[in-house]
Amino acid sequence: KAQYLKVTHLNRKYDSYDYSLKLATQSKAAAAASYRKTSFERAVDKALANDLPASAWSELQTAESEFLKQGIELAQKLQVLQTKLTQVTVDDELRSMGLETAYPLDPATNETATNSNATVVPPKKKKEAVTTAIKACAELTTKLQTLELNFIKSVVQAVGPEHGPSVRAALVGDVAARGSGNLLLAIQERPLTALLSAGDDQATATPPRVFMTRFPGDTTASQVENLREEVTAIIRAAKPGDEALLVLQTGGGTVTGYGLAAAQLIRLKEAGLKLVIAVEQVAASGGYMMCCVADRIIASPFAVLGSIGVISDIPNVYERLKKEGIEFQTVTAGKYKRTLTPTKKVTKEDFDKTKGDVEEILTLFRDFVAQNRPQLDIEKVATGETWFGEAAL
């Protein structure tokens, strides 16, 4: 069956890039948490959009504030009880193994327990205390769940019937991903009122990072599609102060292909990222066009850079075909629809037109280099020559 249209869910693809970047730079848990948060944010943002009336905003903020206040208090009490139950269980097991020396209970609290000096609690009383604590945990869990459900009711009431079904889809999807009772964590990570406000991206301060990618270009710059997606992923994941590093290896190729590749790198600059390009062996012609976009160019000592020029090679077999008695007919409309071709007799007019086209491309190339590297003497370097390493920089 013929396929005429392929639909790609770019958000899913870019989310996978984000996941991979966080997995590499932070941890699997951080990557998973970020993925869940992004999915929840996108669902809520799509559900509520930006057309809530002022009264709904007020109700939403009030409900959220109360939910966070009561929910955090219940969660803290629950955490204390669960910590105690865990300590008692571990202590009993260690004691049964004969461990009576000091050992760390909880590295986070820097507490230390000494079994040999601990007050011995009768098993019956200890069992009763554990049972009481378990019941208290169950009660707190029930209260937290009830509080969450009441908050959901308040949200639906605030947004009204127009947005209610969309909110339902967003919240049900979040519960399916996080599990029941975890809405408090989601709201703590990114409050709904902040999520729906413009300019709300208050990122946690992290050390600057460098995002590295490679471009091993061929003559058609066929890798530009991957570069486009990688640049988008970097822009989505980058924070202020981050940088991008491109390891470049190409001798250039088509004007259109490398023009598009350079445009992708310009996107990084427009997003506020400092761009460094490292040339391992060759960055000539279209490769040098890409280099010019960088804030800084690094090259190995004998890497070849430059070749600011344009070339057009067209083999011509007209005379050979004529000797063989073969005449190639081409029908065109438009004076310059076909100039130099492999099968057509070369005329001065056709040659001059093609030469003019090539010169026009060179002018565009030179202007691009001059704009992005104004420190160069463009008349001196735009000769098609190449230079090695430091001499080229």
Backbone angles phi, psi at 113, to 5 degrees: -110, 145
Instruction: Give me the catalytic one of 285, 312, 344, 353.
Output: 285
Distance, CA of 211 to CA of 24 (rounded, Å): 11
Q: Say if residue 113 is exposed, middle or buried (CB neighbours under 10 Å; 0-12, 13-18, 19+).
A: middle
Which residue of the set 124, 337, 348, 380 is catalytic? 337
Residue 103, strand partner residues: 113
* Residue 164 CB contacts under 8 Å (≥ 6 apart), including other chains: 156
**Where does residue 263 rank: exposed (0-12), middle (13-18), buried (19+ CB within 10 A)?**
middle
H helix and E strand count, the chain: 13, 8
Give the residue carrying structure tokens 């804030």.
Answer: 295
The count of other CB atoms within 10 Å of the CB of residue 280 is 14
Q: Which residues pair with 276 in a beta bridge?
A: 245, 296
Residue (of 150, 148, 134) closest to 72 by Cα position: 148
Q: Active site includes 337?
A: yes
Task: Report the distance separating Cα 299 and Cα 366, nearest Å.
Answer: 21
Of the candidates 350, 288, 282, the one whose C-alpha atom is nearest the C-alpha of residue 316 is 350
Please say if 355 is a catalytic residue. Answer: no
Residues classed as catalytic: 285, 337
